Amino acid sequence: MSSTAHKLTRFAWLSIAAAVTTIAMKTVAWWLTGSVGLLSDAAESVVNLVAAVMTLLMLIVAARPPDDEHAWGHAKAEYFASAVEGLLILVAAVAIAWTAVNRLLHPRAIEALGFGLVISTGASLVNLGVARVLFRAGKAHGSIALEADAHHLLTDVWTSAGVLAGIGLVALTGWQRLDPIVAVLVAANIVWTGVQLIRRSTLGLLDTAISGEEQRALQAILDAYGARGAAFHAVRTRQAASRRFITMHVLVPGEWTVRRGHDLVEEIEGSIRAAIPAANVMTHLEAVEDPAAFADQGLDRAPTTPAAGAPARPSGG
């Protein structure tokens, strides 16, 4: 395992430790108060634990080097972690809503309110601290799995704040049904987070293009080399977690030597890698005067007719 991968798994272990700690704290808070809101909060922390374990496993898989069956590496494994996390969130939301509806129909007084609030607040602070660490690490290393885990923990923090607000309202008003009503709102918030995580993971598996900022950096580089006589088409990009894949055709005058053309594409590829970290850049050099150079701009190559007396050009371009 590379040093970078080892660092990422350390963050996943931190998330696991935080989940175990908050589960214990919130369970004690629920046991003391009998609050269904705190029970829902503890249930989401169980989801946090399962998600953190999944994140750890997928980070280990994503760090594996390319092999014969996975020539482009295993980086997309991170999307499975965030997708599974989203699904677990939706399951937890259903369980929370079910429990809350039952408590709405059969209200029960909340006990030991002050101590329960103190414990739950402490658990939320643990999640907040770990979420900030994971978010910074995810951004720094381009890890969607760590970012998803961080966003989930931040959602847990806001969820806990809502639950605590609900308990406070019960204490002020004496209306016991406020607690399960807040729990229903918590479930709705969890559903939204789960859907967003699943959506982002699905887009990643569908080979979404690199970000707008990265596309602008790429275009600036191509414009600069275009001013030096090169032309480009069939520029395609995709991302797989922290990896970026960029392919393009580079068109130059046919009179250039192979060495001159090769030196140019090496320079272009180096400029792109310097501007877009972790980018895998593949270029295809073609003569700008050759009509066949414009036949394969799309995913499917357009049919071409060889010039009279010229050998047929292989369909692979």
Together in a domain, 199 and 290? no
Together in a domain, 44 and 72? yes
Together in a domain, 142 and 176? yes
Q: What is d(CA 282, CA 268) in angstroms, rounded to the nearest whole number?
A: 10
- Report the candidate in 221, 155, 164, 212 with the shortest Cα–Cα distance to residue 189: 155
Together in a domain, 199 and 218? no
Together in a domain, 77 and 119? yes
Q: In what order do the strands lie in the sheet with 231-240?
A: 231-240, 243-252, 279-287
Helix axes 77-105, 178-205, angle to 10 degrees: 160
Together in a domain, 233 and 182? no
- First-to-last C-alpha distance (Å) of the chain: 37
Together in a domain, 180 and 229? no
Q: What is the pLDDT of residue 304?
A: 57
Together in a domain, 62 and 186? yes
Q: Answer yes or no: pTM beyond 0.85.
A: no
Question: Is 300 a member of any domain?
Answer: no
Choose the final residue of a domain: 205, 227, 245: 205
Instruction: Count the domains in the chain.
Output: 2
Domain with 238 in it: what CATH number? 3.30.70.1350
Together in a domain, 159 and 220? no
DSSP for residue 67: -
Q: What is the pLDDT of residue 315?
A: 36
Residue 174 Ramachandran class (φ > 0 left, ψ -120 to 50 alpha, else beta) = left
Together in a domain, 126 and 59? yes
Domain with 21 in it: what CATH number? 1.20.1510.10
Helix axes 77-105, 144-173, angle to 10 degrees: 10
Q: What is the pLDDT of residue 37?
A: 61
Question: Is 309 a member of any domain?
Answer: no
Q: What is the pLDDT of residue 312?
A: 40
Q: What is the pLDDT of residue 307?
A: 46
Domain range for 61: 3-205
Neighbouring residues of 287: CB distance < 8 A, sequence distance ≥ 6 = 251, 252, 253, 254, 293
Together in a domain, 173 and 109? yes
Residue 44 Ramachandran class (φ > 0 left, ψ -120 to 50 alpha, else beta) = alpha
- Report the candidate in 40, 12, 1 with the shortest Cα–Cα distance to residue 148: 12
Reduced to 3 states, what is the DSSP secondary structure of residue 110?
coil
pLDDT 10s digit of each residue in the chain, 317 long?
A: 455 555 788 898 999 999 899 888 878 777 777 766 667 667 767 878 888 888 898 888 888 888 888 888 888 888 888 788 778 778 777 877 777 777 667 666 555 456 666 777 788 889 899 999 998 888 888 788 888 888 778 777 776 676 666 667 776 776 767 667 777 777 787 788 788 888 888 888 888 888 899 999 999 999 999 888 889 999 999 988 778 999 999 999 999 999 999 999 999 999 999 999 889 999 999 998 888 777 777 776 666 554 444 444 433 33
